Structure 1
Amino acid sequence: MRKLYIYIIIGIASLLWSACTDVQLCDVSVHPHLAQVSFKFNWGTLDKTKPDSMYVIVSRPLNTYHDYFSLPSVNSSPVGMKSGEYFMVACNKDSMVDIVNLNEFKTDFSNISLEDLALRMKSLKREEVPQLAGMDWIDFSPGYSYMANTGAFFADVQNYISIYTGNSAEISFFPKILTQNITIRLEIETDNSVQLEEIMAEIAGIPMDMNPYNGIVNEANLGKMIYSPDLAKRQDNVSTFEGTISVFGLVAGQDEKAVSGPGVLQIAVLAKSESKKKIFRAGVNISKLITEAGLLKSSESGEGNVKAKETATLIIDRQLKIKAGEIEKEEEDGVSGWFTNEENGDINVDI
């Protein structure tokens, strides 16, 4: 009988231990086998642009364990973590960016790793793009999804972080800008009969996915973005416009004379001409500029491309000329030459 009692006690203890080890987040006073870990985000000069909240995603390769936490972007309250050596990445939460495979990462240890995660810009339908509300927009690259110009995205990686049972720890992250700021500069020459009022632009060839852990962009999944260039300078009859997009990169098209797809910039210019308002539409393939700018480079692992620089300015050296209320056609098809979309009609539309 005494031996039976011993077996029962051992069985109950085993059940309690199993239940305890299966819990990933718990109170250290109840489960002292966990460490209490807090996370600190050091923003430095980026403090004014920091997001409201962050994801911290953790991976323990030995006795595999994965988890993630949603935390404030300053300092966090402690969370319970199992002991071991961890690899971690922190990145900001954004309503317009999904983290692909995040839930699977937490549950499917054997098949999903940090390298399988992806920050993915949400695809927008045309009616979901606020800049296009009420605009008669003719899309030169209809086969690509729209995405929002969300601004900077941040991330930091900490590797070989040791967590010890029953102890407390503070892990510091130093977020860096993950995205690239790419400025596109263009010039429009007009005669005295045309007054420019507003310009809208679309650029195609933007990677919609990037891995937050290794920074590799997915060049097979490309989209496009609408943005509003600002007037930077006006001299005589030439207006210089600049617009900046914050993106995971920009990919050139294989055909530098293509009128649709990656590398194609299109604009719609709202202007007054002969006492009427008109929309002037034109496009230009800037693939050569993108390639020459060296925006991406091979990753250290050689498994893909990562951003090569924080910022870049692409300068279109061929002016768009609007004379006598019409877009002036160019005599030669230069790589950086402007083209119209005559096959779709409505190049210049009275409104």
Structure 2
Amino acid sequence: MTKHTRHKAAMIGRCLTVMAVMIASSCERIDIYEPDSEASLADINLIYDWGKYAGQKSDEMYVITARLNETSHTYFVTDSNSLFLYESPYSPFIEDNVVDKQPADTLAADTTVTDSVTVPNDTIPTANGKESFKILNGDYSILVVSKDDYTEVVPLVDFVTRPEAIGMKDLSMTYNEITDDSMMPTIDGHPWIDRNPGYKFISNSGPKFMAKNIKMTFTNGNASGERLLGFERLTQNIRFNFTIRVTAEDGDSISIGEDGVVAEISGVVPSIKLVDETMQAVSLKRMFLDGKATQTSHAAGWAEYSYEGHIDAFTIIAGADDDVVSGPGILRIGIGLTVIDSDGNETSHVISATQNICPEITSARLTTIGTDGRTLTQATKDASIRVGDRLDIDATEIAQGNSNGISGWDEMEIEEEI
């Protein structure tokens, strides 16, 4: 065989080999995201810095990632110490992107239920979490935000499954409405009577946190991949204070239990954009305050109680009318009272009182308005609202079932004797 013939045969052999590979490949799925492609993966390892904050934290945090220059989005879930618990059920690292929603007792032995989805066990760390997860090499924009049962990041699923249409700028944190009556408070066993039904309740479930505008590059073999993240509160802490004065004729007495006061506030903004932290005053909700009344002074025939309560919320909005007792900016309380008359007869009552505190909310300067005249941003992370008008309760009148025994606020009535 001549040199030319041998060269020609070799070229034909190479072509046949390439064709065979192409034919074989056409029968298989080629996925650059396969988790065994170690050369294309790097470890993501984060350290959370809570600074001097020692208060309530979310048990879990979303780590939301967008790979720059390529439309590839996913998310992970960590605990408050940055240990990874699991990754998105829609992540390319989970084989075939299969998500089976089924009861735990019907699951195969090699699967685990996490966050209401079923994913292969090899994507789930131990119960204590693990320090890192695999992520594609590349440049990323990362956002870390609180995760709990009372809020949702929306549209997070579309962010992962439709990355060409949904970006980080489209993500919002939104409170879920309370639909379970068992989550509603009671006053001495008496159910809460709803006087402002146009506004649904959302949960006063503690502060939410976020770390954003994080740009990171992850490469295979990159030291430890550790990044230090500092958090800021996404919610405002708004404190409320008002005074209750109770009086009684000689021989009569009245008392308020330690947990005998329940308060709600309307006009709570339920949603906030994560990237720019803007809000709109639409679909406003209500929250119950976390607080209690404490006796601060007393003498023969009278006692004063100071109520201190707070909400952690994106913000609250005042209504335009200071004279109404429904709508946004309305504080409503229920009080459980025990009255003992001069003959020793004891009766228990639940009374309600409503106060329009729109002027106080406006004075607190909670928000600033954007140039478009519609969007709002928080002007502060902490605020106090003091209700100036004292609520006065006359034990003797209440014992006789007389609503005139309550005065000082916009609307007051005896709900029920129990």
For Structure 1 versus Structure 2, the TM-score category normalised by the shorter chain is 0.7 to 0.9
Structure 1 residue 286, shift from structure 2 partner: 0.8
Q: In the aligned structure 2, how far is the partner of 1:85 from the partner of 1:276?
A: 69
Partner of 2:74: 67
* Distance apart, 1:231 and its partner CA: 2.4
- Separation of aligned partners in 1, 2:161 and 2:233: 29
Amino acid at match of 1:172: L
Q: 1:281 to 1:75 in 2, by over 3 A?
A: closer
Q: Is residue 277 of structure 1 aligned with residue 277 of structure 2?
A: no
SS of the residue corresponding to residue 361 of structure 2 reads: helix
What is the alpha-carbon distance in structure 1 between the residues aligned to residue 26 and residue 82 of structure 2?
A: 37
Q: What is the alpha-carbon distance in structure 1 between the residues aligned to residue 229 and residue 24 of structure 2?
A: 42
Corresponding residue for 2:20? 8
C-alpha distance 80-348 of structure 1, shift in aligned 2 (>3 A): closer
Runs of 4+ that moved beyond 6 A: 13-16, 299-303
TM-score normalized with structure 1 length = 0.86
CA 67–182 in structure 1, closer or farther in 2 if over 3 Å, else same = same
Distance in 2 separating the partners of 1:284 and 1:241: 14
The match for 1:190 is: 246
Match in the other structure for 1:200: 262
In the superposition, relative to structure 1, how do residues 294 and 122 fare at CA in structure 2: closer, same or farther (>3 Å)? Answer: same
Deviations 1:309-336 (A, max 9, x none): 1211100101111123245576xxxxxx
**Is 1:254 matched up with 2:320?**
yes
* Secondary structure at 1:309 match in 2: coil
3-state SS of 2:53 partner: helix
The answer to whether the aligner puts 1:125 opposite 2:185 as a matched pair is no
**CA distance in 1 between partners of 2:382 and 2:233 (Å):** 11
Contact between 1:126 and 1:146, CA under 8 Å: does it hold in 2? Answer: no
Q: In 2, Cα distance between the equivalents of 1:276 and 1:232? A: 21
> Identical aligned pairs, as a percentage?
25
The structural deviation recorded for 1:217 is: 2.8
Contact 1:209 1:221 in 2 (8 A): no
Structure 1 89/301 Cα, relative in aligned 2: closer, same or farther at 3 Å? farther
Query: What is the CA–CA distance in structure 2 between the aligned matches of 1:300 and 1:176, rounded to whole Å?
Result: 25
Per-residue deviation, residues 169-194 of structure 1 (Å, max 9, x unmatched): 22221122221111111111221243
Q: How many residues align?
A: 336
**2:48 equivalent among 41, 49, 53:** 41
CA contact (8 A) 2:393 2:406 kept: no
Alignment equivalent of 2:149, drawn from 95, 99, 122: 95
2:285 matched residue in structure 1: 223
* Gap runs ≥5 in structure 2: 1-11, 84-130
Query: d(CA) in 2 for partners of 1:155 and 1:327?
Result: 49
Residues 136, 72 of structure 1: CA spacing in aligned structure 2 closer, same or farther, 3 A cutoff? closer
Runs of at least 5 residues in structure 1 that lack an aligned partner in the other structure: 331-336
Aligned partners of 2:311, 2:210: CA distance in 1, in Å?
18
